[in-house]
Amino acid sequence: MSPVSRRRGFRRLLPRSLAARLALFGSAGTAALVLAVGVLLYWRLLESFDVADDLQLADQIRVVRAILEHRPDDREGLVQEAEWESGARRYTKLYVRVIDAAGRDVVETPGMDALLPNGVFASPTSAIDDPNEGADWVLDGDHTFRVMSAQVGSGLAPRFVVQAALDRDHEEDLLERFRAHLALVLGVGIVGSVVLGYAVATVGLRPLRVISDAAGRVNSARLTERIDASRLPSELAALARTMNAMLDRLEEAFGRLSRFSEDLAHELRTPLTTLRSGLEVHLARPRSEEEMRDAMAAALEEVVGLAELVDRLLFLARAESGADALHVEDVDVASELESIVHFFAAAAQESSVALDVECAPTRAMTLDRSFFRRALSNLIANALSHSKPGGRVVIRALLRGDHLDVEVEDDGEGIAPEHLPRVFDRFYRVDPSRTKGSGGVGLGLAIVKSIAKAHAGEVSIRSEVGRGTCVSLRFPLRRTA
């Protein structure tokens, strides 16, 4: 099974509830912590028992050593240490054996030979050294002893070997009770941590349910629904504010979409109504060939207008969705401006408006040529349509830092301040009474804005009633195509 499959299988075993998952992970963490602490305490307890037992055995060996070195004929003292001391203990039984240089047992605790033969003891410590660290000996897998041995006499010719052992059954009982208590504490800790963790997680996740419920109430008819962030924890309050800001944007976008749909229906209704009325009138009675030709010409004009509207809407939709990628190339801005002005020269002359170009020397810019032409054409067409006879339209292009600024300025009628924030919206017209023949359908500046955005640029407008309008396009410098 692959690692990915194993991970997916593990995820399927986890509970679906987040609170249950948090409780599960919390209990696992608690169990691991309790187990680690228990193991550490158990290890320290074992170590303490070993040290205490070794000290007791070493002390017993020193006592027997002292008797053998200073009172070698005091057999009664040896018997007392080997037999009476061991017999007087209730919980920890101590065994002592003294062996002479010939390997004979001088004295030993009764019953020691059956439990602890000579072979279970490690090599004894030399007579000039203190007794070394003891070792464990297990008899029949049931009884545990701590054993230690040391020599007595000259280091080169020891006279005796003292062997001492300590029954550790009482300690083993104590360790067994400790393990049982540890298991109990571990079990109670796991169960308690699961219950407590689930309760804490449920309470902690309650604000998320508040957010979820509020978000679930949002639909197309209730876009004003918001999440109350004042009663949420600081960590979730930031999330609630972010979601509220998202809902604000959605409400604004939905409002724009609704207005766009209404404007689109209005713009399509007028030419369709005109087409229908004209066709109904001409079909009501027989018409001459000339009258039918005029009717078809009028219908064609309306169809051309509809086709142009649809084309502009399609361009806007594709530009804003990124479906039309930029086809960038090195563009000579001055040459392009001259070409566009030459194209509008006849219209400007017919309107008695002067059309001038002010272009500082600029290097070739990396732009989409067709998009650039379309944006400038829309701006110049708007400027000409709002200029009075004898007016002037100026097209400027200059480099400012790392941007190219292109401005189209006229000295026409200007725009009132309350209209400026919306002039780039689709179908928005400053004068609603203007028709397609006199003022377009209100898509020109929306297209200009989309083109600037496609180039990662921006568009701005400033205007003063009675003194004219200036629309500025700003394009960032791009690397050479």
Give pLDDT tens digits for 40-71. Answer: 988 898 889 889 898 988 888 888 888 888 88
* pLDDT score for 86: 60
Q: Does the pLDDT at position 267 exceed 70?
A: no
Q: Are residues 280 and 336 in the same domain?
A: no
Q: Does the pLDDT at position 432 exceed 60?
A: no
Q: Are residues 300 and 330 in the same domain?
A: no
| Global model pTM greater than 0.75 | no
Q: Are residues 259 and 126 in the same domain?
A: no
Q: Does the pLDDT at position 266 exceed 80?
A: no
Q: Are residues 252 and 356 in the same domain?
A: no
Q: Are residues 172 and 257 in the same domain?
A: no
50 vs 157, residue with greater confidence: 50
Lowest pLDDT segment from 169-173, 187-191, 355-359, 418-422? 187-191
Query: Using 50, 70 and 90 to split pLDDT, how confident is the model at 394?
Result: very high
Contacts (Cβ under 8 Å, ≥6 apart) of 177: none
**DSSP state letter for 427:** T
Query: Using 50, 70 and 90 to split pLDDT, how confident is the model at 470?
Result: very high
Q: Are residues 351 and 444 in the same domain?
A: yes
In a domain, 204, yes or no: no
How far apart are alpha carbons 361 and 365 in whole angstroms? 12
Provide the residue range defining the domain that includes 102.
Answer: 19-176
Evaluate whether 63 touches 81 at the Cβ level (below 8 Å).
yes
CA angle 174–177–181, rounded 5-degree value: 140
Q: Are residues 346 and 452 in the same domain?
A: yes
**What's the average model confidence in pLDDT over 415-424?**
86
> Number of folded domains in the chain?
3
Smallest CA-to-CA distance from 62 within 111, 132, 158 is with: 132
Q: Are residues 161 and 266 in the same domain?
A: no
Joined together, the tokens standing for residue 356 give 């001038």
* pLDDT score for 438: 44
* pLDDT score for 395: 92
Q: Are residues 288 and 372 in the same domain?
A: no
Query: Using 50, 70 and 90 to split pLDDT, how confident is the model at 12?
Result: low
* pLDDT score for 437: 46
Q: What percent of the chain has pLDDT over 70?
A: 84
Q: Does the pLDDT at position 161 exceed 60?
A: yes
Q: Are residues 305 and 329 in the same domain?
A: no
Q: Are residues 432 and 400 in the same domain?
A: yes
Lowest pLDDT segment from 6-15, 44-53, 323-332? 6-15
Lowest pLDDT segment from 122-131, 179-188, 260-269, 470-479? 260-269
pLDDT digits (tens, 9 = 90+) for 200-237: 777 777 887 888 888 888 877 777 888 888 878 877 88
**What's the average model confidence in pLDDT over 247-272?**
75
Q: Does the pLDDT at position 481 exceed 50?
A: no
CA distances from 98 to 103, 106, 115, 327, 458 (A): 10, 5, 16, 104, 103
Joined together, the tokens standing for residue 418 give 């309350």
Strand 135-139: give its sheet, edge to edge: 105-108, 94-100, 158-167, 143-153, 135-139
How far apart are alpha carbons 283 and 298 in whole angstroms? 14
Residue that terminates a domain, selected from 263, 291, 318: 318
Q: Are residues 304 and 344 in the same domain?
A: no
pLDDT digits (tens, 9 = 90+) for 275-307: 788 777 777 778 787 878 877 888 887 787 777
In a domain, 438, yes or no: yes
**DSSP state letter for 80:** I
> Phi and psi (nearest 5°) for 336?
-65, -40
In a domain, 287, yes or no: yes
Q: Does the pLDDT at position 414 exceed 60?
A: yes
In a domain, 199, yes or no: no
Lowest pLDDT segment from 133-147, 313-327, 445-459? 313-327
